[in-house]
Structure 1
Amino acid sequence: MTTDLTWLMDQLHKDIPGCRTVLLLSSDGFHRARNSACSQDLADRLAAVCSSLINCAHTAGQIYDDSSLKVQHIDWEHHQMALVDAGANANLSLAVVTDIDTAPGLVGEAMRLMVTRLHGHLKTAPRSPEQSPS
């Protein structure tokens, strides 16, 4: 993906009170976009951790013949993290870390709206005949 989506990640960061980090990551554990305040190192580390968590959740779901992960939510003492599928065709997930007192419903709704917006930016334009490989 060559599109710079930082502006979208920044918008989500601004829309959620107490938001610390917004990260778009691939299923192979690489970050694809992050909010401006998130460092490269943090994005790399968090993407790897989130990818592992998502894979564990998918595996656990398969035990119950339900591998369609909707939302994964983790609470710590001072923070919370939500992970959602950002597009099965693109193998991407969206992660948001907020302060613990941020309303999970608000986070979930903001993430749902962002995933909808992301789909328009992740689509690949159809090839014209002159772009087709020979």
Structure 2
Amino acid sequence: MSFNNLDQLYRQVIMDHYKKPRNKGKIEDGALTVDMNNPTCGDQIHLTMNVEDGIVTDAKFEGEGCSISMASASMMTQAIKGKDIDTAIKLSKIFSDMMQGNEYPDDLDLGDIEALQGVSKFPARIKCATLAWKAMEKGLKEEK
């Protein structure tokens, strides 16, 4: 697949998550809650997660922001469901490395998250992509 076709595919994946976000909403009743914002561009996230026996059993988000920020939140909530806290935090660190343009393990299938690789070429947008991930990491570290 040529670079242009791959770039177009990635844009389509991002727009799909932006227009039809997965796990949009809020978990009530005792959920772990984290609110964060990106003052640079105005992105805001309200992340709620259920953690039972060290496993993220559910994750939802509400917020406002650009397509990259909201698509990333959608992808992140999908990625962490069913993962233990340490694995979710490790995934956040891998994502952060990817946003810095660093390689990640070849045997790791990031699924739709790979569509955000191109953001690393736009330093001003990296904070948009990492906002939800930082919120998740903060919440899970506090939970731990």
- Structure with the largest fraction of strand: 1
What is the TM-score of this pair, normalised by structure 1?
A: 0.33
More helix by share: 2
TM-score by length of 2: 0.31
Bigger radius of gyration among the two: 1
- RCO higher in 1 or 2 (8 Å CA, sep ≥ 6)? 2
